Structure 1
Amino acid sequence: MLDDFLTRALIAGIGLAITTGPLGCFIVWRRMAYFGDTMAHSALLGVALALILDLNLMLGVFVVTLAISGVLLLLQRRNSLSADSLLGILSHATLSLGLVIVAFMTWIRFDLLSLLFGDILAVSRSDIAIIYAGGALVLAVLAAIWRPLLASTVSEDIAHAEGLNPALSRIIFMLLLAIVIAIAMKIVGILLITALLIIPAATARRFATTPEQMAFLAALIGVAGVVGGLYGSVQFDTPSGPSIVVAALIVFILGLLPANRRKTSSEQIAK
């Protein structure tokens, strides 16, 4: 069955969507979309450094994205610039620096567009194994830190009052985000990773009544986006990564149609 490239792409995409759904909920709740975008953009710098140092690409992306998140935390503590300014600087600087370094490496031939927009149709069996093993690890750790991370999302004071450690859970969450970016790079590409994290979660927020339900719905919506996107890619001969994001966007737009609905607890968390 795995000899069919489309079947491999479908299995890989579903595995990624199941992982990004719950993780994306916290990005939506904590208003970290720009932060996730910055980490995703830094992935290209990780690729460039990995090629120079002859390292595994996923390892290079993981290390650089984690380092960028650490640099951001240190700069935020100095209060010299606002958070959005720092994110803008780091986001565009790391992406541009990665592109410049790649341009200088004329002795290495690779498809830059596949890095930027993904190439899910080229996933191998080993890629699928990495996606599901990494996804299982991410979901297991996220389940373990769910309570302190959720409490700190609602209120840092509440988390401290309950004897939790919100700072540690936040650091672990950034670690999980770096892992997902490294895994997702080949499927949807550097420029589209954040979309796959945010769009399913934002769609699920309109229908979920609890945070846990929102995480489950976000995973299902992500899977629907993968299936619909791959179908559209085959039918209309469009790029697979962007097609997946467009399919998820269509689901989001359809979710906007019901005009009247009551507020849910998952929405109140984000306020």
Structure 2
Amino acid sequence: MLDDFMVRAILAGIGVALAAAPLGCFVVWRRMAYFGDATAHAAILGVAISLAFQMSIFVGTVSVALAMAMVVTAISGRGYAMDTILGVLAHSSLAFGLVAVSFLSGIRIDLMAYLFGDILAVSRTDLVVIWGGAALVVALIAWRWSSLLTSTLSEELAYSGGLNPRREQLILTLSLAITVAVAIKVVGVLLIAAMLIIPAAAARGLARTPEAMAVIAAGIGAFSAVAGLRGAYVFDTPAGPSIVCVAALCFAVFGMFGWRGGRSG
């Protein structure tokens, strides 16, 4: 079954959707869209470093994403608004990554595949990495679900309950870094943030509980992956952008019919 490239692509898309869904809910609740964008853009620098030192792309992107998070934490609250800091870091890391890639000699790199994804070229090894990363992200979020919700609702409430909001933030950051690393092959660095935010935003108006929102977001993400791949096959369009387009249409449709119901946050 895995010999069929389309089957591998569908499994890869569903794996990324499962990882991005619960994490995307927290990104929406915490208004961390810029943070997700900055982390995704930094992945290109991670790719360049990985190729330069002949190491795993997964390790390089996770390392750079975590470094980005630490830099943001270190310089936040020093006179600049958070969205300004994230904007500067996002575009700077993307630019440095693209420049670094241009210095790599003797290495063939399909830059468009990293920017917009190349889901149709997913291999069996890629599937292992994607589903392994997705399982790790889901396990981390499930393990700390209650604590993450409390910290998201109110830091004061978290402190009063004996929780450390900074530790919960670190768990979210680690989960985001892993998700970016596994999603880069599927939708590329320029569209990763969209797959984090759009399914979760579409699910928000349909769900009455946070848990339901995560499950619905996973369903929307998986449907977007399958329908987007089908659309790309039928209309001969780029696979990664097609997946995001389906997710955006789901947001538009559910926005019209779902927001009359209860909200989950």
TM (normalized to structure 1)? 0.95
Aligned residue type for 2:32: M
User: Residue 147 of structure 2 corresponds to which residue in structure 1?
Assistant: 148
Following superposition, the deviation at residue 258 of structure 1 comes to: 2.3
215-224 or 145-154, larger mean C-alpha shift: 145-154
Q: Deviations over 1:122-178 (max 9, x none)?
A: 001111111111111111111111111111111101111111121111111101100
Give distance in 2, aligned partners of 1:262 and 1:243: 28
Q: Quickly say closer, same or farther: Cα 1:257–1:46, change in 2 above 3 A.
A: same
Give distance in 2, aligned partners of 1:140 and 1:148: 14
Is residue 4 from structure 1 mapped to residue 8 from structure 2 by the alignment?
no
Give distance in 2, aligned partners of 1:259 and 1:155: 27
User: Residue 43 of structure 1 corresponds to which residue in structure 2?
Assistant: 43
Aligned residue type for 1:80: G
Q: Which runs of 4+ in 1 moved over 3 A?
A: none
Correspondence list, 1:180-199, <5 A: 180-199=179-198
Give the CA RMSD over aligned residues: 1.1
User: Residue 170 of structure 1 corresponds to which residue in structure 2?
Assistant: 169
Following superposition, the deviation at residue 106 of structure 1 comes to: 3.6
Give distance in 2, aligned partners of 1:259 and 1:134: 31
Aligned residue type for 2:182: I
Give distance in 1, aligned partners of 2:95 and 2:130: 27
Q: Deviations over 1:2-56 (max 9, x none)?
A: 1100011001111111111111000000000000000000000001111111111
Gaps of 5+ in 2: none
User: Residue 247 of structure 1 corresponds to which residue in structure 2?
Assistant: 246
Give distance in 2, aligned partners of 1:44 and 1:119: 15
154-163 or 202-211, larger mean C-alpha shift: 154-163
Identity, in percent, stands at: 51
User: Residue 222 of structure 1 corresponds to which residue in structure 2?
Assistant: 221
TM (normalized to structure 2)? 0.97
Correspondence list, 1:78-97, <5 A: 79-97=78-96
Give distance in 2, aligned partners of 1:259 and 1:109: 46
Give distance in 1, aligned partners of 2:102 and 2:242: 27
Correspondence list, 1:204-219, <5 A: 204-219=203-218
Aligned partners of 2:46 and 2:97 also within 8 Å? yes
Give distance in 2, aligned partners of 1:219 and 1:59: 25
Give distance in 2, aligned partners of 1:116 and 1:104: 18
Gaps of 5+ in 1: none
Q: Deviations over 1:34-88 (max 9, x none)?
A: 00000000000001111111111111111001001100000004x2311111101
Give distance in 2, aligned partners of 1:258 and 1:190: 31
Give distance in 2, aligned partners of 1:15 and 1:84: 30
Aligned residue type for 1:107: G
Give distance in 2, aligned partners of 1:258 and 1:128: 35
Aligned residue type for 1:195: A
Give distance in 1, aligned partners of 2:88 and 2:15: 32
182-191 or 157-166, larger mean C-alpha shift: 157-166
Q: Quickly say closer, same or farther: Cα 1:259–1:229, change in 2 above 3 A.
A: closer
Is residue 73 from structure 1 mapped to residue 73 from structure 2 by the alignment?
yes
Following superposition, the deviation at residue 259 of structure 1 comes to: 7.7
Q: Quickly say closer, same or farther: Cα 1:260–1:54, change in 2 above 3 A.
A: closer
Correspondence list, 1:16-165, <5 A: 16-77=16-77, 79-165=78-164
**SS of structure 2 residue aligned to 1:31:** coil
Aligned partners of 2:205 and 2:258 also within 8 Å? no
Aligned residue type for 1:28: V
